[in-house]
Structure 1
Amino acid sequence: MEKRQELTSRAKRIEARLAAVFSPDFLSVVDESHLHAGHMGASDAGETHFFVEIASAMFTGKSRVDAQRLVNEALDEEFKSGLHALRMKTRTS
C-alpha cells in the first residue's frame, strides 16, 4: 500500500475546494514547496508551490488551457492568501 503524503493545511483546503467544485474521479495534491526553497515566492513556512493532478468530467470538451484556467479560478482565494505557484495536470474522467 502506497503511503500518502501528509497534507498541509493549504493542501487540505485545495483538495476540499477542488473536490467540491469538480467532483473529480481522481485528485492528487502534492506540496512541492521544498523544491523551491530560496526561490522567489517561496516561504520558509512552505505551502507556496503545489502540484495538482485532477480528472473530472467537467473538463470534457475543454482545452488544456481552459481546464487549467477553471482550476486556477477555483483556487483564487488560495492565490490571494499566499499560494505562489500551481503546477497541474488536468484530464477528463
Structure 2
Amino acid sequence: MSVATLIERKVSEAVPVAHLALENESHKHSVPPNSETHFKLVLVSDAFDGMLPVRRHQMLYKVLADELAGPVHALALHTYTVAEWQAKGGEVSESPDCLGGSKHDPEFKA
C-alpha cells in the first residue's frame, strides 16, 4: 500500500471528512523519483468546530505518528471547519518549491 493511500485511509477512519485532498509534493524536493516523503493535506471536518488550529494538527500528528516517524519527512496541514472552508471559497495556496538546505549541499552549514 502506498504511503498516500495509508494516510488517506487513517485520516478518513479517525475524522469525519467533509473534504480531503492529499498531494504528494515530494517532486518539489531533493529526493529520488517516485518518493513519498513530502505531502500537503487539506482536511475539512466538522470535528474541528471549536478547536484551535494547533489542536487540529496535534490530532492529526497522533493519527499519523507511524508515518511521521518513518517515511514522511514533511506534512503541510491545512485544516478547516466546513464554515471556514466555505468562507475561503475552497481554495488553498500552492506550496513553495524547495529552496535546498540539504545537509549534502556544499553550502549547507549545520
TM-score by length of 2: 0.69
- Match for residue 17 of structure 1? 10
From 60, 68, 73, the counterpart of 2:62: 73
Q: Which runs of 5+ in 1 are unaligned?
A: 1-7, 38-42
Question: Deviation above 2 Å: which 4+ runs of structure 1?
Answer: none
> Kindly, what percent of the aligned residue pairs are identical?
30
Over aligned residues, Cα RMSD in angstroms?
A: 1.4
Q: Structure 2: how far apart are the matches of 1:12 and 1:33?
A: 15
TM-score normalised by length of structure 1: 0.81
* Secondary structure in structure 1 of the residue aligned to 2:50: coil
The separation in 1 between residues aligned to 2:25 and 2:49, in whole angstroms, is 28
Q: Which has the higher contact order (CA 8 A, sep 6+)?
A: 1
> d(CA) in 1 for partners of 2:52 and 2:7?
22
Unaligned runs of 5+ in 2: 83-110
The number of residues matched between the two structures is 81
1:34 to 21, 27, 33: 27
Q: Which structure has the bigger radius of gyration?
A: 2
